[in-house]
């Protein structure tokens, strides 16, 4: 039986360690992802690479809908839940898996034939199974992060990235038409089994024991508001990642989609790197709320040490980096990569604003910003790719990030200077809503 009351403040400062683990995971994934697409470009025809890009984008887009944005929810609530964490974790898994099964079945049976999915029952079943596994693969990392066991996340993701590269030569022979997608998805099976064993048999019981029966979550009204808002925001985030590839394959064809994929992946991967730092900040602020205000400047300095060199490398080295894939990839992708690189400073401002809003549980601000950003970028992409090709997606991304950053920048500066205040300098708003009667009574939608 759980005892009412918050978890004791966690011992130790895990901000840098957790952030570096997530940064290592995402950076290694991005680097090995570049290697994956470079090898695929040499082993498969460009058209088949483009179809692989589109099928992966469809799967990850559906997975983002099915996982209910638990990648944000688990880091925010799982540690503080204490003795209630096992029930929350199991419920999240069950609902997400059922959602993935339902969405995948509808997609392959009721939305018509998609050129990038091979015909036949086997391909349809394989797509649905891959979707379910991808959902588990995504939320298990969030669970480990939320329970401050982040050290295993880069091990898992690096193993996955290496395995999918090793499978490319095999599938270029045994399944040349669908091998890109199959090489990408099959290694997930060998990751989710050991990771979930470790999560449910080691990490979760240890957290339950350390809680001594204590733990708390906000009222269900608050949780429901956060869940709904983050779900909408999560759909917008994945739309920025997946929808441009689907727009390009439908309007410009699979060859240009292949040229598009690697520059887009490289540039937008910095978004994931920034969210790695933001997630670590949120977890540590939840586990050690009295230290939240001092954690913010350290996280910002860490983000700047990543963004500034990244911007220089991508702007200067774009043609050299892309030439690894082949001359045509460098010719057609360099301008796209440079445009996305120009968005990095604005991306940093926007991620910091969202982090402040999440830490203060200002749901409406999170939703408004992410919906606005996604609408701007995707609308501009739809318009521009017809005129300037795949570079239009990069121009749209940079312009959308810049417009939103300019709007929120004054608020970000105020909050950074007074890290004990919530977004918009709202009276009485704390950076982290403590589990007290006053904090819980505060309206989430302010």
pLDDT, tens only, 176-230: 778 898 999 999 988 899 999 999 999 889 888 877 777 667 667 777 777 777 7
Q: How far is CA 385 from CA 149, 247, 401, in A?
A: 42, 9, 18
Q: Alpha-carbon distance 329 to 390, whole Å?
A: 12
pLDDT, tens only, 258-306: 888 788 877 777 777 787 788 777 777 766 666 666 778 888 888 888 8
Question: Do 58 and 247 contact (CB within 8 A), yes or no?
Answer: no
pLDDT, tens only, 336-387: 999 989 999 999 999 989 888 887 778 888 889 999 999 999 999 999 998 8
Q: Alpha-carbon distance 161 to 164, whole Å?
A: 5
Angle between helices 46-66 and 254-287 (to 10 degrees): 30
Q: Can you list the positions of beta strands (E) in 237-328?
A: none
Residues 6+ apart with CB under 8 A from 91: none
Q: Alpha-carbon distance 171 to 177, whole Å?
A: 9
Question: Do 411 and 349 contact (CB within 8 A), yes or no?
Answer: no
Q: Note if the pTM is more than 0.85.
A: no
Cα 387 versus chain centre, distance: 30
Give 438 or 42, the one with higher predicted confidence: 42
């Amino acid at each position: 039986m759980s005892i009412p009351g918050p978890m004791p403040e966690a011992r130790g400062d895990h901000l840098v360690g957790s952030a570096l683990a997530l940064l290592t995971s995402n950076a290694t994934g991005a680097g090995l992802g570049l290697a994956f697409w470079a090898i695929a470009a040499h082993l498969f025809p460009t058209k088949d690479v483009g179809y692989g890009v589109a099928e992966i984008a469809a799967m990850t887009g559906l997975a983002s809908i099915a996982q209910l944005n638990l990648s944000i929810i688990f880091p925010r609530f799982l540690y503080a839940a204490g003795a209630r964490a096992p029930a929350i974790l199991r419920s999240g898994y069950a609902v997400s898996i059922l959602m993935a099964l339902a969405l995948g079945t509808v997609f392959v049976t009721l939305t018509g034939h998609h050129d990038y999915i091979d015909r036949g029952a086997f391909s349809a079943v394989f797509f649905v199974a891959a979707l379910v596994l991808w959902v588990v693969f995504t939320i298990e990392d969030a669970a480990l992060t939320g329970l401050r066991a982040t050290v295993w996340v880069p091990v898992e993701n690096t193993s996955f990235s290496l395995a999918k590269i090793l499978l490319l030569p095999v599938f270029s022979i045994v399944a040349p038409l669908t091998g890109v997608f199959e090489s990408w998805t099959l290694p997930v099976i060998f990751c989710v089994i050991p990771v979930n064993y470790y999560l449910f048999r080691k990490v979760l019981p240890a957290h339950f024991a350390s809680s001594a029966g204590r733990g708390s979550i906000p009222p269900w009204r608050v949780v429901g508001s956060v869940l709904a808002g983050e779900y909408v925001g999560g759909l917008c985030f994945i739309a920025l990642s997946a929808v441009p590839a689907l727009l390009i394959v439908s309007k410009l064809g699979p060859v240009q989609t292949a040229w598009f994929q690697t520059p887009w992946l490289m540039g937008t991967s910095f978004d994931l790197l920034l969210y790695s730092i933001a997630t670590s900040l949120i977890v540590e602020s939840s586990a050690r709320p009295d230290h939240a205000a001092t954690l913010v400047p350290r996280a910002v300095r860490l983000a700047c040490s990543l963004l500034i060199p990244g911007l220089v490398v991508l702007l200067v080295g774009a043609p050299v980096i892309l030439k690894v894939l082949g001359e045509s990839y460098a010719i057609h992708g360099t301008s796209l990569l440079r445009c996305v690189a120009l968005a990095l400073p604005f991306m940093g401002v926007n991620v910091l604003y969202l982090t402040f809003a999440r830490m203060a549980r200002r749901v409406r601000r999170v939703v408004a910003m992410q919906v606005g950003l996604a609408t701007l970028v995707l609308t501009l992409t739809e318009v521009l790719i017809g005129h300037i090709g795949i570079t239009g997606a990069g121009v749209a991304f940079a312009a959308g990030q810049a417009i939103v950053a300019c709007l929120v920048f004054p608020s970000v500066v105020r909050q950074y200077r007074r890290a004990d205040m919530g977004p918009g300098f709202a009276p009485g708003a704390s950076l982290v809503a403590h589990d007290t009667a006053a904090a819980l009574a505060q309206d989430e939608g302010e």
